Chains A and B, each alone.
Chain A
Amino acid sequence: MRSTGIRIHFLHAWRFMKKRWLSFLLLGVLLFASGFVYTTMAESIAAIRDASEAYFEETNQEDFSIEVSDRLTASEKEHVRDVCGLQTTETLSALSSADSSCHEDILSSRKETLIQVFTGVSLEARLFMDIPLFRDDGNHRMRILNDADSINKSHIEEGNKPLSSGEIAILGNYARANDIALEDEFVVQGETFIVTGFVLFPDYNLPVFDHPFLFDSTKQTLALMSDEDFAMFDAPKRAYFAGVLEEVSASELEGMFDQAAFLTAPFLENLTLTENNMRSGAIYAEIEGGHAFALIVAAFIALLGLLIIVLSLLKTLRANSRPFGVLKALGVPDNALIFPFLALIGIFALLFLLLGFLAGQFAAHPMQDIFRDFYLLPEGKIRFRVVTLVIALALPLTLLLGLSFVVMKRLLGKRPVALIHPALTEWAKGGLKRFRIGSWRLSFLVRMQIAFIKRRPGKFAVFVVGLFGALFAGFFSFGMHDMLERTLPEYYGGTGIEVKAYTEDITFDEPAEGEKVLELSVRVNETNASLVALSEGQTLHPLKDSRGRDLTGSLAEGLVISRGFSDLSGLREGDTVEVTLAGDNLEMEITGVADIYAGSHVFATREVVAEWLFTDPSAYNVVYLSESPEVDYALLVFTDDIVEQLRDTHEIFNVFFRVLVASALFIALVVVYLLTVMLVEDHYYPLAMFKVLGYDNSIIRKILLGGYVKAALLCFVVGIPVALLAFAFTRRWMAEMYEFMVPLAITPVQVLIYFALFLATLFLGTMSAKRKIDKMSLKDALAIYQE
């Protein structure tokens, strides 16, 4: 006969894998998932990144923006009164309607002052008008932006730029969601416009108008009009300044944002670098974070899969060490024994990783579309990238083969005689001796469980790490589930406010109906806040702390801050703070913390604030109403619309989080299934011996699996505080990054639901191992032992 090659060893390796097809299929699913998740995310994000870079370059995206007070400073009021002849104008937006030329003067003056403060930059005023849209399916919102000259230039995705009066360009996303086509008529505040194009603005890659979580572009849109229409449109124009770094770096610019800056420019509110700005910079964090998230998730899944494969291999080699020892004695080299396993596992892993990679390439298209449903960015091209292939495929494959080779070489690299006659069996070496050491106080069952865990520390470690990782992902998803419900819906749900009616300027006349409120942007010490000054004796906006105690009394004595603002600023009850607005300061004591997560709200008594800022306790700029007003206001905001809009958005997120929880539990199921089945196979002989000794199946199950089940439950219990810590960390990170609080939290009910799901997963995952234990026969066990 011709010399025999390693064909027969391939056959052995193949049959080994075939016999465990379900385990390998599940491992294949893990590898597929790893390749798929990474490729989908990496490719879609890369496409968006490339498209965004070109788009931001072309449109000259702002590097930073400067928020300025809408309230006029004392000197500005003097100018408005003396030069423009307007006696009662208090705000910049009111001035835009009253006298556009005077409005331009103030903006120019502010720009000049800002350029003195922030040297080495160029600035351009960004003007916008917020308009309610009354559509058939409810109330929508529109923010009309000016067509910028040099910074944040508009970008027409489709159609033409509106150049003539009566033309308008809106967001493509909004148009698609509302069946609006080019050339359609579009009514804004009673005026009819023709939609000439779909527009994008680089400073609004998330359409965040006021609340950071309100960015669903199906019910709110940005818009561009001709310069003529924009100037003439009857609505107050608010402003901020967009800036580009010319001769300074971002950190140098931040260094200029100090107390002196507020003294020179008292209208200054905030300076935000684009990367820290939700509306213009969230995409940067998404690109970075999304890529990192994909990498971590994919690496975690791949590593789990790889470790389980290596453990499985280790088990096979141990079981076959004696026959392999004989074959080595007969002159078969290590490589002939190792290579078939490596090659087959390599082909198997390559196949699933490649499938994951290819599926990911396809899925990257819809994934980019999902991104573009939220982010207002031009479409990027999904293309094959070598770096993605390397990370999604070559790296895990190399790791798998390298690790497998090292493990196999270490095991089979011994002399044949050491493989055929191991000095001591592992059981005798470790197991029985360890029953006694340090555990004499424990029951027999517990000692046995510990012994079985100690016998396979590698498998136990993979079990714990895999399960904990999966559980943690689930906890995090649960934490984000219904997260938005805890913001505005919970906030407005706790009040009797149905409509917020905004006046054009600070008003002093008594309103026809409703409760007078002052809503102003202020700084509390170093942090920006939304000041809501409520009238004494008002009833529509109750304030309660986390224990449900009424804080109305505290409001009369000082400043009540929201829980969200407290977490954001680190300020607590009893602290004395300085409230600043357009150069005016007021020292106040924090007298309570209201249980509100909606935003950076701080509350004060309207009369006190009105007296402080306008020397007239009757001043207000908003009226809170429990039903629609009978008189006209500059802007009406219906709280139900906002809540509905937010719920629409969070329903989409909730679906995503449910998928994440299901995926986490699936990974937990795979880990539990594979490792418990392997454990039974590892301990077939001692477990069969327990049967012979008269132990019934339930006790044997407890002996082998009990320790693992306890560890799994411990993972769940430990997962709770770890998740809470992670929530705290994430809240802090988001607060530092974007200056808003993410109300990540998990309720006891959610914990119970998750626990029930986890128990079901654990039960399903261990079912196969239990069945194997029940079916185990002494004859088979001895046959395996002999082999």
Chain B
Amino acid sequence: MDISLKNVEKTFMQTKVEVAALRGVDLEIPSGEFVVVLGPSGSGKSTLLNVMGGLDSVSAGEISIGGKDIASRSEKGLLAFRRDNLGFIFQQYYLLSTLTVAENVETGAYGAKDAHSPLEALRMVLLEEHADKYPFELSGGEQQRVAIARALVKKPKILFCDEPTGSLDEKTGKEVLKLLANIHADLRTTIVLVTHNKAIASIADRVVTLTSGEIVADHQNDKRVSPDEIHWH
């Protein structure tokens, strides 16, 4: 599914002052691409991911995914669209403490027409043996992998990742990135990953750099490396 943004604007009111988070963003992401959106804190990268994923509305501009306009969709329409096509991973894992790992993964498959079984999804993230454990019994990296399995269980066409390694150390962070790289390689899932960590950019097909809500650089990454080869900042 291609993603297309045309002249997207997003403004917030902050203590009676209008703040522009995104300014005239134009972006085309073809299906199956692994894109890293890079930028410092406050550059608008999370906002960009939220509006692309239909989690937040735009102030102006057009967004379409797979040729379907999502900016003008109702909340209900957006919900169904996200359910059928999109997966999300966030910096925090936000798992439900009362449910086991497998059950947490199962929550992500609500209403999916063709979903993996929770165990299949856990196998993809190498956590099959932890299926019956509760989140508090896992490390931070393992919990993030559960969150990835939760996002993958319904076979999304696009995976949006908001600082997925932000709370992890280098070793576990790389494991998570490796997992994402494998998913991209094996399933050809479109991945949009937002990060402030420049090192992560080298694992992507393409790197979009955002500063003060504007795209200041957008280039293909010809020298893709494995997550094992990157140096953490």
Interface residues of A (CB under 8 A from B): 1-6, 8-9, 11-12, 15-16, 19, 320, 322-323, 325-333, 336, 415-417, 420, 783-784, 786-787
Complex: A331 Cα to B70 Cα, angstroms: 14
Query: CB-CB contacts of B99-113 with A at 8 A, as 1s and 0s?
Result: 100010011111111
Complex: A463 Cα to B92 Cα, angstroms: 35
Complex: A330 Cα to B136 Cα, angstroms: 22
Interface residues of B (CB under 8 A from A): 50, 53, 55-57, 75-76, 79-84, 86-88, 90, 92-99, 103, 106-118, 120, 135-136, 147, 150-151, 154
Complex: A330 Cα to B150 Cα, angstroms: 9
**9 examples of A-B residue contacts, CB within 8 angstroms:** A12-B103, A15-B98, A326-B150, A329-B86, A330-B87, A330-B88, A331-B79, A331-B83, A331-B86
Q: Flag if A783 contacts B83 (CB, 8 Å).
A: no
Return chain A residues, CB-CB under 8 Å to B99: 8, 11-12, 15
Q: Flag if B111 contacts A3 (CB, 8 Å).
A: yes
Please report whether the interface of chain A is mostly helix, strand, loop or mixed according to DSSP: helix
Look across to chain B and name the residue whose beta carbon is closest to the beta carbon of A787.
B97
Return chain B residues, CB-CB under 8 Å to A6: 110
List the 10 shortest-distance A-B pairs measured between CB atoms, nearest first.
A331-B83, A15-B98, A4-B109, A323-B94, A331-B82, A332-B110, A417-B55, A322-B94, A1-B117, A329-B88
Q: Which of B84, B98, B108 contacts A19 (CB 8 A)?
A: B98
Look across to chain B and name the residue whose beta carbon is closest to the beta carbon of A333.
B79
A327-B107, A330-B83 known; A3 and B115 CB under 8 Å?
yes
Q: Which of B94, B112, B135, B150 contacts A3 (CB 8 A)?
A: B112
Return chain B residues, CB-CB under 8 Å to A333: 76, 79, 111
Q: Which of A3, A19, A322 contacts B109 (CB 8 A)?
A: A3
Q: Flag if B84 contacts A331 (CB, 8 Å).
A: yes
Q: Flag if A4 contacts B94 (CB, 8 Å).
A: no
State the total of A-B contacts with C-beta under 8 angstroms.
Answer: 114
Q: Flag if B136 contacts A326 (CB, 8 Å).
A: no
Q: Flag if B95 contacts A330 (CB, 8 Å).
A: no
A3-B115, A320-B96, A333-B79 known; A416 and B110 CB under 8 Å?
no
Q: Which of A4, A323, A328 contacts B79 (CB 8 A)?
A: A328
Q: Which of B53, B57, B115 contacts A329 (CB 8 A)?
A: B53
Return chain B residues, CB-CB under 8 Å to A5: 110-111
Look across to chain B and name the residue whose beta carbon is closest to the beta carbon of A330.
B108
Q: Flag if B107 contacts A9 (CB, 8 Å).
A: yes
Q: Flag if A8 contacts B107 (CB, 8 Å).
A: yes
Q: Which of B94, B109, B117, B151 contacts A420 (CB 8 A)?
A: B94
Look across to chain B and name the residue whose beta carbon is closest to the beta carbon of A316.
B98
Question: Shortest beta-carbon distance, A4 to chain B, in Å?
Answer: 4
Question: Shortest beta-carbon distance, A318 to chain B, in Å?
Answer: 13
Complex: A787 Cα to B98 Cα, angstroms: 11
Complex: A420 Cα to B53 Cα, angstroms: 14
Question: Shortest beta-carbon distance, B1 to chain A, in Å?
Answer: 15
Q: Flag if A326 contacts B79 (CB, 8 Å).
A: no
Complex: A330 Cα to B94 Cα, angstroms: 13
Look across to chain A and name the residue whose beta carbon is closest to the beta carbon of B14.
A423
A19-B98, A323-B94 known; A1 and B116 CB under 8 Å?
yes
Q: Flag if A326 contacts B116 (CB, 8 Å).
A: no
Return chain B residues, CB-CB under 8 Å to A12: 96, 98-99, 103, 107
A330-B88, A417-B50, A420-B94 known; A1 and B115 CB under 8 Å?
yes
Return chain A residues, CB-CB under 8 Å to B103: 8, 11-12
Complex: A336 Cα to B113 Cα, angstroms: 16
Look across to chain B and name the residue whose beta carbon is closest to the beta carbon of A19.
B98
Return chain A residues, CB-CB under 8 Å to B150: 326, 330
Look across to chain B and name the residue whose beta carbon is closest to the beta carbon of A334.
B79
Q: Flag if B112 contacts A786 (CB, 8 Å).
A: no
Look across to chain B and name the residue whose beta carbon is closest to the beta carbon of A329.
B88
Q: Flag if B106 contacts A4 (CB, 8 Å).
A: yes
Return chain B residues, CB-CB under 8 Å to A784: 97
Return chain B residues, CB-CB under 8 Å to A8: 99, 103, 106-107, 110
Return chain A residues, CB-CB under 8 Å to B147: 326
Contacts A4-B109, A11-B98 known; 15 new A-B pairs at CB < 8 A: A1-B116, A1-B118, A8-B103, A8-B107, A8-B110, A11-B99, A12-B98, A326-B147, A330-B107, A330-B154, A331-B80, A415-B55, A415-B57, A420-B55, A787-B135
Return chain A residues, CB-CB under 8 Å to B115: 1-4
Complex: A326 Cα to B113 Cα, angstroms: 19
Complex: A416 Cα to B53 Cα, angstroms: 11
Return chain A residues, CB-CB under 8 Å to B87: 330
Q: Flag if B111 contacts A325 (CB, 8 Å).
A: no
Q: Flag if A332 contacts B83 (CB, 8 Å).
A: yes
Complex: A323 Cα to B57 Cα, angstroms: 21
Complex: A336 Cα to B109 Cα, angstroms: 12
Look across to chain A and name the residue whose beta carbon is closest to the beta carbon of B82.
A331
Look across to chain A and name the residue whose beta carbon is closest to the beta carbon of B121.
A1
Look across to chain B and name the residue whose beta carbon is closest to the beta carbon of A4.
B109
Return chain B residues, CB-CB under 8 Å to A416: 55
Look across to chain A and name the residue whose beta carbon is closest to the beta carbon of B113.
A3
Q: Flag if A420 contacts B86 (CB, 8 Å).
A: no
Return chain B residues, CB-CB under 8 Å to A787: 94-95, 97, 135
Question: Shortest beta-carbon distance, B21 to chain A, in Å?
Answer: 12
